[in-house]
Structure 1
Amino acid sequence: MLRRGRGRKLSVRILTGQLAILAVTSVIGFVLLAQAQRAQLDREYEQRALAIAETTAADPQIRNAMEYGGGGDVVQAIAGRIEAASGASYVVVIDLQGIRHSHPHPELIGRAVEEPLAVLGDRTWVGINHGATGSSANGKAPLHGPTGELVGEVSVGIAEKDVLGQLRRELSAFGLYLGSALAVGATASYLLARRLKRTTFGLELEEIAGLLQDREAMLHGIKEGVLAFDPQGRISVVNDEARRLLGLGTALGSRIGDVLPEGRLRSALDGTLSGVDLTVLTDHHCLAVNRMPVVLRGHELGAVVTVRDRTELVGLLRELDSVRGLTDALRAQQHEFANRMHTMAGLLELGEHEAAFDFAVELGHEAGALAEGVRERIGNPLMVGLIVAKTTVAAERGVRIELDGDSRLGEHPGHLRRLLSIAGNLLDNAVEAAGSPGVVRLSLVERPEAIVLRVADSGPGIPAGAAASIFEDGWSTSPDRGTARRGLGLALVHRLVQRHQGSITVSDGPGAVFTVTLPLPDQDPAPLGTLFTLPPVVLAGSRSEGAP
């Protein structure tokens, strides 16, 4: 039973989850970007401060004043102008004793700095400085006099607030881009959620899980084989009964041509053969196959194939048809027997005792002549019974079965059970094809290397162009009767012959002649274990006719 979903809808869950992921990743990305940009701006402003310091250190008035002295006011004035022109927060000129000669705070001029000089090795220095004016991006350059002698250093700083201001301006633009990306991602998430909703046919997660459980329980619980194919022809679903009936192993994801040999069964499964309740014979089963394409909203989604095991049903129908034929024959024989008894009673009533005795002797001779004629050539009692029973039934239909004089079969021939099934099916087909009146000729010869069985009828023969298909399951020139399914006899005969390395041929022209050759010795004398190998009702009927 379908279970309704609980909680939020699938589309809402997907959208919420996508938005949460986007939001978290966006915040993390923004923080990492801000840190990276802050470090980049620090480096840029440090280099800018260093450039200002080097420019200041190259001023000739400052160089003269610092090497020869007496120019304190000049140094402060020039440093102030550079500070104002460059936007630096301070430009400080320091001598080798660490005494300041310029500073934005005049009271600090003439005082020594706390940290040691960074340019004593005649090197530049950049970094973050925390001085009297606050945190700043700092650059220090060596100061040389006119003679080239190191006389001090120039320290330039750009206030941290300037760096942060630039960072805020850049991050504002980044925030705009990030917001746009977040909006696009949210829209894409919404569209994705709607698409997934349509893909799942509006089902929620709990409903999908419930359907999967119900499907598995149904597929593996029913006594009917079920296969499903995707649009590419690969097997997407196969239940246990289908594996048993078709002999499939691990078939999921495979094409039917990869797991089954070429033949009628594969053609019925892949859709090459079309029709309802296609009858297919395998080595162990008689199957009814139906294939139905799956189309949803105009799109082909593949196909579903159902396979039903009709082995027992067809076997019972064949037995019922045999019993019905024997019943008709017995009814006709009863009528004929009643006529003979009336004749006998009339002769006795007229006092013609000698004529009545001769009539009774003649009847007894006719009753045993058929069986004795068959026994002279056929040593096995089961085959004798089959031939006698088929001959009796055929006679009631106006068809005469003749056993060729060259027929010879021992008491214990090889392939006995297969011979019974093959002969029975071929004789039934020949009797029906011969029509009334008609003749069927049977030849059964046992040789050292093989057993050869030949059945010929006086009917119209095999239709032109049908020789290649008469052994396929379901092929028949006659319509189905109410009980027996047509088109199985020749297919069964062909399968039995091929399975035991024999051969079967059919002649062209008026009157069909089927020739079956089964090699000796028999490599599989055990029963085949199928309902089609032995027609028990016919044999029981033959015993009722007085066969041994």
Structure 2
Amino acid sequence: MSGWGTGLPRFWRRVRHPRSRRLSTRILASQLAILAVTGLIGFSLLGIAQRAELDHTFEQRAVAIARTAASEPQIRAAMAARPEATPTGVVQQVAERVRAASGASYVVVIGLDRVRYSHPDPGLIGRQVAEPIAVTDGRTHAGIDVGATGRSANGKAPLYGPDGTLVGEVSAGIPETQVTSELWRELPTFGLYAGFALAAGLTASLLLARRLKRITFGLELEEIAGLLQDREAMLHGIREGVIAFDPAGRITVINREARQLLGLTATDVRGARLDEVVPDGRLRRVLDGTLTGGDLTVLTDSHCLTVNRMPVALHGRELGAVVTVRDRTELVGMMRELDSMRGLTDALRAQQHEFSNRMHTLAGLLELEEFDAALDYALESAGAEPALAESVRERIGNALLVGLIVAKTTVAAERGVRVVLDEDSRLGEQPPHLRRLLTIVGNLLDNGIDAAASVDPPPATGAEVHLLLVEETDHVLVRVADSGPGIPPEHVERIFEDGWSTRPDRGTARRGLGLALVHRLVQRHCGTIEVSTGPGAVFTVRLPLPDTDPASPLGSVISDGAAPYPPSGDIEPAGGGERW
């Protein structure tokens, strides 16, 4: 038995263990079973229909035989003369001749008194039939008759005498055996047609099985179900957004994290195209592959995202693309805070050196007994920093903005750039759009300082950045002008895109987000932003009054002074000195 068990044909083993059978084999077996059952049902229905058609045909043939007998002059004349019903009579002889010639099982002539005048069984001649005369209406009748000769296709025709009066009826029958024989002669042809149909279905099933195998890459049903379970667990278990697109650009897979990060509020976006669910902009161009590259940064209303798009191909077939979306809001905020601390550290270190130099100078004057000069120098040094803060406070009433401007001025001075607050600047203690002003002023000052410091050699008048802050009756005006090289005309349309920058990354804060953030804030609050092309860039921002959205989503995440000085961005509460 062990030898027989190990020698089982592979097919039989698969039949015994259906889970081991391939998907194509299962599909083929199922389709063959369906084809066999439907073919058998169709063949049976066709046989039944053909039998009914043959019954009708033979009934009409029986009617024709009855009409032929009813038209015989001898029978008409004899029945009009009211003959005796005898086996040797003229009616019996003529009727039997017609029966023999037509192959009918019987030709019976019946008078109006229901008496038989002819019959294949002479013993029934002269006896009455049980059923009434059917042709009294003058028409022929057909049907199935079960009589003394067995089951037959029956036809009845009226019998008229020479003068045209109804004298009886002629009933003719064709035995059922003839109908059955005819049906059996036709069934092989029907079986051949059914065989052709089964062969065509088998061929189509084989082609379909091969196509399904190619579509499913040879995976079996259990493997497909397992892949689906794994995919669902992976998609909704990771903390990154995942979107899959088919070759036509339609969304086929999207997880909850991607919906949240992209702000897709529709119930089900699967099957939709990007242009149907995502507005035009950098985000859509990154998602659809128009913008290429790795770790592309995209700024939304509430998130800083890193997006990667990867085309997918399998066995040389293009299957679409997979996009991963990562939330880098906290990371960017931490990097900006680190840059802020680094900038402050550098500024404090420089001030320490400057303070040491001043102390050395003061010590030298005292050693030389230049007491008056030492006193004047000490008073001048002590009043330098407070004078800067006081000059800013005279024009700007809000302490947060004053701290921001003073801090930027100090950092800029260490880079050889002078920040000048325009004398026409006027802003109250609680100006409208305060949180947005912190973001806008901080980022524009950072850009201006970087641009002015990049000029080598510096202009004859020195590297400068001019700031104007004015609260008008219907808007708040912010203008930042620098002495840098300006913006090339061909880049004017791109400077407000996420990630655009003329400077490389420093390894910490991501470049190219500051102007994009400023532009987004201004647009969302129906303001305007203008930029000149140079020499020296001039950014002019107008925010309309009144401030109808003082607690906007972006503004709500700006620090209330938690940083050493007010932040220039609005991603993390502790953000700081470097622009996005």
Q: How many residues align?
A: 537
**2:340 counterpart letter in structure 1:** S
Counterparts of residues 475-490 of structure 1 (less than 5 Å): 475-490=500-515
Q: CA deviation at 1:316?
A: 1.2
Q: 1:380 aligns with which of 381, 393, 398?
A: 398
Map of 1:55 onto structure 2 = 68
Tell me the distance in 2 between the aligned counterparts of 1:296 and 1:419: 51
Q: Is the 8 A contact 1:389 1:538 kept in 2?
A: no
Tell me the distance in 1 between the aligned counterparts of 2:189 and 2:563: 95
- Shift in CA distance, 429/150, structure 1 to aligned 2, threshold 3 Å: closer
Three-state SS of the structure 2 residue aligned to 1:465 is: helix
| Cα deviation 1:238-284 (Å, max 9, x = unaligned) | 21111111111122332222223222222222222222222111111
Counterparts of residues 161-240 of structure 1 (less than 5 Å): 161-240=177-256
Tell me the distance in 1 between the aligned counterparts of 2:407 and 2:516: 23
| Structure 1 unaligned residues grouped into runs of 5+ | 543-548
Asked if 1:282 is matched to 2:300, the reply is yes
Tell me the distance in 1 between the aligned counterparts of 2:132 and 2:400: 125
| Cα deviation 1:328-380 (Å, max 9, x = unaligned) | 12222222222222233333344444443333223213333322222222222
| Cα deviation 1:446-498 (Å, max 9, x = unaligned) | 23332212111111101122222211111111111111111111111112222
Asked if 1:81 is matched to 2:97, the reply is yes
Asked if 1:320 is matched to 2:333, the reply is no
Q: 2:127 aligns with which of 89, 105, 112?
A: 112
Three-state SS of the structure 1 residue aligned to 2:388 is: helix
Counterparts of residues 143-158 of structure 1 (less than 5 Å): 143-158=159-174
Q: CA deviation at 1:500?
A: 2.2
Asked if 1:330 is matched to 2:348, the reply is yes
Map of 1:516 onto structure 2 = 541
- TM-score (norm. length: structure 2): 0.85
Q: Is the 8 A contact 2:435 2:555 kept in 1?
A: no
**1:343 counterpart letter in structure 2:** T
Tell me the distance in 1 between the aligned counterparts of 2:503 and 2:142: 106
- Say which is worse superposed, 181-190 or 151-160, in terms of deviation: 151-160
**2:278 counterpart letter in structure 1:** L
Q: Is the 8 A contact 2:420 2:466 kept in 1?
A: yes
Q: CA deviation at 1:408?
A: 2.1
**1:397 counterpart letter in structure 2:** R
Q: 2:414 aligns with which of 368, 374, 396?
A: 396
Map of 2:387 onto structure 1 = 369
Q: Is the 8 A contact 1:268 1:278 kept in 2?
A: yes
Q: CA deviation at 1:431?
A: 0.9
Map of 1:439 onto structure 2 = 464
What is the Cα-based RMSD across aligned positions, in Å?
2.7
Q: CA deviation at 1:102?
A: 4.0
Q: CA deviation at 1:76?
A: 4.1
- Percent identical across equivalent pairs? 68
- Shift in CA distance, 159/520, structure 1 to aligned 2, threshold 3 Å: closer
**1:115 counterpart letter in structure 2:** A
Three-state SS of the structure 2 residue aligned to 1:289 is: strand
Tell me the distance in 1 between the aligned counterparts of 2:526 and 2:158: 106
Tell me the distance in 2 between the aligned counterparts of 1:371 and 1:259: 50
Asked if 1:458 is matched to 2:483, the reply is yes
Tell me the distance in 2 between the aligned counterparts of 1:541 and 1:236: 41
Counterparts of residues 115-130 of structure 1 (less than 5 Å): 115-116=130-131, 118=133, 121=136, 122-130=138-146
Q: 1:29 aligns with which of 42, 45, 68?
A: 42
Map of 1:546 onto structure 2 = none
Tell me the distance in 2 between the aligned counterparts of 1:519 and 1:149: 114
- Say which is worse superposed, 158-167 or 90-99, in terms of deviation: 90-99
- Shift in CA distance, 205/334, structure 1 to aligned 2, threshold 3 Å: same
Q: CA deviation at 1:221?
A: 1.5
Q: CA deviation at 1:7?
A: 5.2
Q: CA deviation at 1:425?
A: 1.0
- Shift in CA distance, 260/97, structure 1 to aligned 2, threshold 3 Å: closer
Tell me the distance in 1 between the aligned counterparts of 2:144 and 2:390: 127
Tell me the distance in 2 between the aligned counterparts of 1:270 and 1:521: 39
Q: CA deviation at 1:506?
A: 1.0
Tell me the distance in 1 between the aligned counterparts of 2:558 and 2:101: 112
Tell me the distance in 2 between the aligned counterparts of 1:419 and 1:109: 123
Counterparts of residues 228-377 of structure 1 (less than 5 Å): 228-250=244-266, 251-377=269-395
| Cα deviation 1:32-83 (Å, max 9, x = unaligned) | 2222222221221122112112212222233334444599354444333322
